[in-house]
């Protein structure tokens, strides 16, 4: 092929007027230069010693690791901080021992190859990937013979039914995965919250009185009894709520219905990708999601004012029960958390 | 109990109850009250309050108003309590050196005595959280594991799981908690300085606050068993180390390997 | 063999045994003197290969203790801040193997660092391939296999750190689930099948475990095997230089030199990663705590290789979400997480064929390009790197904000524009630099190397003496191909018949012009002769007036 230029030797192109070639030509490999270790036996001897030293270093590293393993014991009787110190020591001794052991071999081997093994460059020749025309013709011939012998072309009934069978047989392999999970049904639209559920503190679990929430206070709450749910984490992933107290006149009119004396409860699950929108800035009344910085304005009924989220955080309407504890007045009015196709 | 019940009608019972009641109140006052509302107003002397007022007029009134009523960006200081002043002034955040998205920690500009005088004055303006007692902030008395759980739900989202700091909106940030005195951690929780919300004793009890302090002092003291902590900032710094250090060292070896020996 | 030592004897016996059973002599004959060229950049792929081996070794160690179950248990180990807390078996066993198994923490850290080095080296290796044109025929398939391996590496890493069930990865997993949930029409079904119901459920840990330790590594191992077989079949590419041509390969034999060098390099890579495991703490899950959907830590980031996706999500404005016929469509989720990576990967995957189509060059290429000699390709590559880096920075915008005292909002606004403008700028600048370097190469060929010696004429003119290049030095600067833009063919052929595919051909010409119109051609012997002629001295010098026109494409 045209790319495979002839492999010229070291001829340079003479600069004369007249018949100059269109391109320079490859001058060929430069003359080999000997290394110090090739010419000076002392240098070679030195390199040999260096390589051996590196291998010895590796042995030392291995020994350090073995001794360290048995000498540094993880003793449960130690205090917490001492235990961590011991662990750090163990990790460092084992790791450094291992690194020295490995690097000794690696650096030694490479140094050996570089200084003492022959460094004269050798040449291999390449061949085109494609076969010769003859080989190709033979291959085609063989394939044709095979096709002919099988009767694949001559017996369309066999061919077509085989294609049909091959197309269908993987189907059960897909269907078998049907039971990897239930269908979504309506569960994405429901949370653990029911009307009358007390708001309890996350993680320790006591109910909260409206009077407990001073101005500017924030509490992370869960519905009462969620710890007894069948799938606690699944329920928590939808039911997490942030409770905040502001001045009543700072709230948007549409959030007042679900508020109780300036106390509002909003879903903590981001409407973008479901992270907990837990960062509340008391002065600006903004809620910030730490995952993608969607920002929600509490004074605008948790409307999105920045970031990749689109929908406002759903509000959980709250009120108080006879004993003055905060309770949900109703479940969420819409699905919480990230968007999905069936959500309307 | 029955013996006690039988003597309830004894003439001395009333007197005993009164004495007991007074005693309990006194002890409780000493133990609990310093960490709750309006205690500091009564413990400070009138001189302190007067000195505090002068300090206030000199250092604070330009922004917060002559009567601490607040104006524009500067909030009213009536009812913020001694804890708030102790936190803001004691950590150098106030008096504000220059305006920015938030008042950062800075060199402290008032002496301890001046700070307590100023605290006394502001506390006298209206009831608010007081400076916590030594006992309320003693890490040794806290439960580290419980503190970790409270911290994870209430604090980590802003300050980071290891208290290494975190970003808020528009240039504001939650400062690192790695080198903060327990007193200030407590005061910040009860007063909610700047962007931080308030965590009243009803939602995070004083015991839980002490647990959080215990947790923070534990993880701040705790060595990183795996080696250098990389700021305990998570995958971003780890990625940088892999790229900058790991790759550079490996390429260094590769260059050496590929280079001709002299 | 006049004298044979016992060792040689044993070797001969073993060799004989093997040869008579598996024909070992043919294997040795065929492979031991295969030639590999020396260059540091050829070791990048080996870093990836060796990291993979280290991942297999350290990962196997970890499986002896890791319990792939989301079942609840109580932590009773030595880490006091978690004492008595409810955690999953997976999290518990990770803490156990980190804190109580000697060497367990080291192995975990080696495993995680090796994973990062694996992805880093894959990325750098692929850009080496790209910038030097090593993907060209006959290596297109290996380029595709490499791309697939890179994608699998990302998935494999994500599965690995997610199944620990800590708070940081749990929130990452929540995001992954939201991405799946956001796929139009089928999202919620796919999510329910993947997680065995609602998020998080208990199914994901054992499922991810099997995918992470069995299925994906097996696929990767298979692809890596094919990748390496193809390297042997094609023989390694080499950089241009005197004596190196398209039909030879100049270097050192597999045995003994590359056995020592590459074998030694495996130990070096392992040693460096072990050192990282010893000195730098990585993924301290005990600090993050167990996963619970309610809490979260500030600085919630994925591992770096997922960072560019997270960054794309962060800078995506939310207003694009809409509702239609009672359905919610979330382009704010699927554009950055599915469309953007698709747009980044697909052209990269197809690039060998795209370039082949533009140049019309169907020849085999075994000599690498110097990046400057393919300015448009190099500029496109730098453009891609710029985009990737910007997205990664966006993914860490909170860390950037706190550490450089910037506003997170400003960074986001900047990046929303920056991801379009800065890559384009990088393209232009890179192309200018490449062409500048090519021109400098031409200067050097035509007027020799600067010697640093200054020569002053009697008239007061100052020259720097230039020494002519040797043929060997010159070859590197002139021995490359500079394709010319595809010639505009008339829409009809010589016989006046309309050419088929005329419109596609026009597009090809346009792109070809975009690629090659400002090409800098290598110096020809004639140009050099004429430059010498113009020089006033036999000693070739470059005076002010003798600047030659750059042989640009017409």
- Of residues B128 and C334, the one with the higher pLDDT is C334
Q: What average pLDDT score do residues A6-30 get?
A: 63
- Do B234 and C299 contact (CB within 8 A), yes or no? yes
User: What mean pLDDT is predicted for residues A5-33?
Assistant: 65
| Judgement on whether residues C365 and C436 belong to the same structural domain of the protein | no
**Of all residues in chain C, what percent carry a pLDDT higher than 90?**
71
In this prediction, residue C539 carries a pLDDT of 46
Contacts of C248 in chain A (CB under 8 A): 7, 123-126
B233 touches chain A (CB under 8 A): no
Q: Region B171-179: what's the mean pLDDT?
A: 90
CB contact A46 to B (< 8 Å): no
Identify which has the larger pLDDT, A102 or A343. Answer: A102
The mean pLDDT value of chain C amounts to 89
**Residue C250 parent element (H or E):** strand C248-253
Q: Do C264 and A222 touch (CB under 8 A)?
A: no
pLDDT at C521 over 90: no
The pLDDT-based confidence of C470 (bands split at 50, 70, 90) is: confident
Given a cut of 70, whether residue A8 has pLDDT beyond it is: no
How do beta strands A263-267 and A315-316 pair?
Answer: antiparallel
Across the interface, whether the CB atoms of A7 and C247 are under 8 A apart is answered yes
Into how many domains does chain C fold?
A: 2
| Facing C281 at nearest CB: one of B168, B229, B251 | B229
- Provide the CATH number for the domain around residue C317: 1.20.810.10
Neighbours of chain C (3+ CB pairs under 8 A): A, B
Q: Exposed (0-12), middle (13-18) or buried (19+): which is B50, by Cβ within 10 Å? A: middle
Q: How confident is the model at residue B1 (pLDDT cuts 50, 70, 90)?
A: very low
User: Is A186 within 8 Å of chain C by CB?
Assistant: no
Q: What is the pLDDT of residue C115?
A: 97
Interface of C with B in 169-198 (CB under 8 A): none
Cβ A268 vs Cβ C294: under 8 Å: yes
User: CB-based contact (8 Å) between A344 and chain C?
Assistant: yes
Interface of C with A in 101-120 (CB under 8 A): 102-103, 105-106, 109-110
Inter-chain CB proximity B226 and C109 less than 8 Å: yes
Query: Would you call C479 and A24 a contact, using CB atoms and an 8 Å cutoff?
Result: yes
Contact at CB, B145 and C304, closer than 8 angstroms: no
Note the pLDDT of residue C369: 93
CA atoms within 13 A on the CB side of B56: 27
pLDDT of residue C230: 95
Are residue C350 and residue C492 in the same domain, yes or no?
no
Chain C CA closest to residue B104:
C405
Could B235 and C301 be called an inter-chain contact, meaning their C-beta atoms sit closer than 8 Å?
yes
State the pLDDT confidence band at B10, using cuts at 50, 70 and 90.
low
Q: Encode pLDDT of A44-62 as tens digits.
A: 999 999 999 999 999 999 9
Determine the Cα angle at C527 with ends C524 and C529, to 5°.
Answer: 110
* CATH 1.10.760.10 for domain B135-221: yes
Question: Which distant-in-sequence residues (6+ apart) come within 8 Å of B228 by Cβ?
Answer: C279, C280, C281
**Nearest chain C residue (CA) to B228:** C280
Domain ranges of chain B: 40-124, 135-221
Which C residues 149-208 touch A at CB under 8 Å? Answer: 171, 174-175, 177-179, 181-189, 191-203
* DSSP codes joined into one string, A29-89: PPPP---HHHH-HHHHHHHHHHHHHHHHHHHHHHHHHHHHHHHS---TTS-HHHHHHHHHH
- For residues A234-249, average pLDDT: 92
| pLDDT per position as a tens digit, C442-468 | 989 988 887 777 777 777 777 777 888
Hey, is the C-beta of C204 within 8 angstroms of any chain B C-beta? no
- Residue C12 counted as domain residue: no
Same domain, C153 and C223: yes
* Surface of C (11-70) touching A: CB under 8 A: 33-35
CATH topology of domain B40-124: Cytochrome Bc1 Complex; Chain D, domain 2 (1.10.760)
Query: Hey, what are B221's tokens?
Result: 């003291």
Place B261 in a pLDDT band, splitting at 50, 70 and 90: confident
Can you give the pLDDT at residue C494? 60
Residues C363 and C457 in one domain: no
| C261 occurs within a structural domain | yes
Domain annotation covers residue C18: no
Task: Please report whether residue C472 resides in a domain.
Answer: yes
Contact: A91, B223; criterion CB under 8 Å: no
The CA distance from C347 to C345, in Å, is: 6
Residue of A88, A209, A219 lying closest to B224 (CB–CB):
A88
Q: Searching chain C, which residue's CA lies closest to the CA of residue B215?
A: C81
- Dihedral (Cα; C340, C344, C345, C349), 10-degree rounding: 150
C406 found inside a domain: no
Tell me if chain A has a CB within 8 Å of the CB of B14: no
Residue C539 belongs to what domain range? 431-544
Rounded Cα gap, residues A315 and A298, in angstroms: 10
Q: Give yes or no on whether B40-124 and B135-221 have one common fold.
A: yes
Cβ of B168 and A281 within 8 Å?
yes
Q: What is the pLDDT of residues B51-80, one digit of tens each?
A: 888 888 888 888 888 888 887 778 888 888
Query: What would the pLDDT profile of B23-36 be if each residue is shown by its tens digit?
Result: 555 554 444 444 44
**Does residue C330 have a pLDDT over 70?**
yes
Contact yes or no for B156/A278 (Cβ under 8 A)? no
Which residues of B are less than 8 Å from A95 in CB distance? 227
Residue A13 in this model has a pLDDT that exceeds 60: no
Determine the average pLDDT of the residues in B183-196. 90
* Residue C414 counted as domain residue: no
Whole-model pTM: value is 0.90
- pLDDT band with cut points at 50, 70 and 90 for residue C496: low
Q: What is d(CA B211, CA B199) in angstroms, rounded to the nearest whole number? A: 14
Q: Is residue C413 part of a domain?
A: no
Does residue C528 fall inside a structural domain? yes
Q: Residue B179's pLDDT band (boundaries 50, 70, 90)?
A: confident
**Cβ–Cβ contact B24 with A under 8 A:** no
ipTM: 0.91
The whole-number pLDDT of residue C423 equals: 96
Average of pLDDT values for C129-157? 96
CA distance, residue C130 to nearest chain B CA (Å): 18
On whether both C153 and C266 belong to a single domain, the answer is yes
H or E, element range at A110: helix A80-115
The CA distance from C229 to C40, in Å, is: 21
């Amino acid at each position: 092929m045209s790319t495979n230029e002839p492999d010229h030797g070291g001829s340079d192109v003479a600069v004369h007027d007249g018949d100059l070639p269109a391109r320079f030509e490859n001058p060929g490999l430069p003359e080999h230069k000997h290394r110090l270790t090739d010419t000076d036996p002392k240098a070679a001897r030195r390199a040999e010693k260096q390589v051996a030293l590196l291998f010895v270093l590796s042995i030392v590293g291995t020994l350090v690791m073995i001794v360290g393993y048995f000498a540094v014991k993880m003793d449960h009787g130690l205090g917490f901080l001492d235990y961590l110190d011991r662990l750090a020591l163990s990790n460092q001794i084992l790791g450094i021992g291992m690194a020295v052991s490995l690097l000794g071999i690696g650096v030694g081997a490479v140094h050996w190859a570089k200084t003492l093994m022959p460094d004269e460059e050798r040449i291999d020749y390449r061949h085109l990937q494609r076969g010769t025309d003859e080989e190709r013709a033979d291959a085609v011939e063989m394939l044709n013979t095979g096709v002919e012998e099988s009767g694949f072309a001559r017996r369309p009934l066999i061919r077509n039914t085989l294609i049909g069978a091959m197309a269908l047989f993987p189907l059960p392999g897909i269907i078998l995965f049907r039971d990897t999970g239930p269908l979504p049904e309506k569960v994405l639209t429901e949370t653990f919250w029911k009307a009358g559920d007390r708001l309890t503190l996350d993680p320790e679990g006591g109910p909260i009185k409206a009077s407990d929430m001073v101005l500017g206070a924030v509490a992370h709450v869960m519905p009462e009894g969620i710890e007894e749910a069948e799938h606690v984490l699944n329920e928590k992933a939808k039911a997490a709520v942030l409770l905040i107290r502001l001045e009543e006149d700072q709230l948007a009119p549409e959030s007042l219905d679900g508020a109780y004396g300036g106390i509002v409860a909003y879903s903590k699950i981001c409407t973008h990708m479901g992270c907990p929108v837990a960062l509340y800035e008391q002065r600006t009344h903004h809620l910030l999601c730490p995952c993608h910085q969607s920002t929600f304005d509490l004074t605008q009924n948790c409307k999105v004012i920045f970031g990749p989220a689109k929908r406002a955080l759903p509000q959980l309407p709250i009120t108080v029960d006879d004993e003055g504890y905060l309770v949900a007045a109703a479940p969420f009015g819409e699905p919480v958390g990230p968007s999905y196709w069936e959500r309307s | 109990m029955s013996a006690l019940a039988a003597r309830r009608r004894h003439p001395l019972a009333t007197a005993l109850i009164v004495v007991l009641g007074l005693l309990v109140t006194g002890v409780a006052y000493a133990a609990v009250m310093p960490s709750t509302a309006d205690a500091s107003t009564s413990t400070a002397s009138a001189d302190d309050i007067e000195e505090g007022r002068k300090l206030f007029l000199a250092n604070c009134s330009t922004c917060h108003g002559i009567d601490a009523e607040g104006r524009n960006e500067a909030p009213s200081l009536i009812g913020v309590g001694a804890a708030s002043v102790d936190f803001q002034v004691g950590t150098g955040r106030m008096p504000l050196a220059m305006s920015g998205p938030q008042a950062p920690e800075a060199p402290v500009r008032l002496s301890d005595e001046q700070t307590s005088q100023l605290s006394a004055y502001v506390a006298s303006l209206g009831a608010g959280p007081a400076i916590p007692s030594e006992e309320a902030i003693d890490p040794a008395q806290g439960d580290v594991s419980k503190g970790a759980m409270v911290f994870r739900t209430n604090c980590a989202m802003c300050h980071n799981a290891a208290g290494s700091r975190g970003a808020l909106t528009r240039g504001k940030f939650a400062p690192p908690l790695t080198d903060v005195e327990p007193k200030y951690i407590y005061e910040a929780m009860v007063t909610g300085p700047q962007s931080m919300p308030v965590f009243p004793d009803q939602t995070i009890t004083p015991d839980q606050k002490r647990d959080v302090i215990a947790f923070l002092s534990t993880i701040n003291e705790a060595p990183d068993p795996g080696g250098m902590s990389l700021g305990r900032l998570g995958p971003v710094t780890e990625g940088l180390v892999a790229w900058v250090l790991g790759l550079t060292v490996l390429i260094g070896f590769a260059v050496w390997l590929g280079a001709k020996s002299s | 063999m006049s004298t044979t030592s016992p060792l040689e004897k044993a070797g001969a016996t073993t060799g004989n045994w093997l040869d008579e059973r598996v024909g070992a002599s043919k294997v040795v004959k065929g492979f031991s003197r295969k030639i590999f060229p020396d260059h540091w950049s050829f070791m990048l792929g080996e870093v990836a290969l060796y990291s993979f081996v280290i991942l297999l070794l350290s990962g196997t160690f970890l499986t002896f203790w890791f319990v792939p179950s989301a079942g609840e248990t109580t932590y009773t180990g030595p880490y006091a801040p978690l004492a008595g807390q409810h955690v999953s078996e997976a999290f518990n066993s990770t803490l156990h193997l980190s804190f109580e198994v000697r060497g367990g923490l080291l192995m975990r850290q080696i495993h995680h660092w090796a994973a990062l080095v694996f992805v880093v080296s894959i990325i750098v290796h692929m850009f080496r391939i790209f910038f030097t044109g090593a993907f060209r025929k006959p290596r297109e398939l290996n380029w595709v296999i490499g791309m697939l391996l890179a994608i699998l590496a990302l998935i494999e890493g994500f599965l690995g750190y997610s199944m620990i069930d800590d708070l940081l990865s749990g929130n990452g997993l929540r995001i992954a689930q939201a991405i799946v949930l956001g796929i139009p029409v089928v999202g919620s079904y796919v999510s329910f099948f993947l997680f065995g119901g609602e998020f998080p459920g208990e199914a994901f840990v054992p499922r991810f475990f099997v995918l992470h330790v069995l299925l994906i590594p097996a696929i990767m191992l298979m692809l890596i095997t094919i990748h390496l077989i193809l390297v042997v079949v094609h023989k390694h590419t080499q950089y241009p230089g005197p004596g190196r041509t398209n039909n030879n390969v100049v270097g050192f034999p597999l045995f003994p030199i590359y056995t020592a060098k590459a074998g030694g390099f495996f130990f070096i890579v392992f040693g460096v990663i072990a050192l990282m495991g010893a000195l730098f703490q990585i993924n301290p899950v005990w600090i993050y705590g167990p996963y619970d959907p309610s809490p979260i830590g500030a600085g919630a980031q994925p591992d770096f290789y997922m960072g560019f996706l997270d960054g794309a999500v962060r800078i995506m404005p939310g207003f694009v979400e809409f509702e239609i016929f009672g359905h919610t469509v979330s382009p704010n989720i699927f554009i950055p997480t599915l469309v953007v990576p698709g747009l980044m990967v697909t052209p990269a995957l197809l690039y060998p064929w795209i370039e082949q189509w533009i140049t019309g060059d169907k020849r085999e290429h075994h000599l690498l390009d110097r990046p400057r000699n393919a300015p448009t390709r190099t500029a496109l590559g730098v453009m891609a790197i710029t985009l990737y880096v910007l997205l990664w920075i966006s993914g860490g915008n909170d860390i950037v904000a706190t550490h450089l005292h910037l506003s997170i909002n400003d960074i986001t606004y900047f990046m929303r524009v920056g991801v379009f403008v800065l890559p384009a700028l990088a393209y232009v600048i890179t192309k200018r630099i490449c062409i500048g370097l090519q021109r400098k190469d031409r200067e050097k060929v035509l007027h020799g190397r600067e010697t640093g010696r200054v020569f002053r004429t009697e008239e007061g003119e100052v020259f720097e003496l230039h020494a002519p290049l040797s043929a060997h030095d010159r070859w590197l600067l002139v021995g490359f191909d500079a394709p010319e833009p595809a010639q505009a063919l008339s829409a009809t052929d010589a016989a006046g018949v309309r050419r088929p595919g005329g419109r596609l051909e026009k597009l090809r010409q346009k792109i070809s012009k975009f690629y090659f119109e400002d090409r800098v051609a290598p110096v020809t012997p004639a140009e050099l002769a004429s430059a010498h002629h113009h020089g006033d001295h036999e000693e070739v010098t470059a005076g002010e007036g003798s600047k030659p026109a750059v042989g640009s494409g017409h």
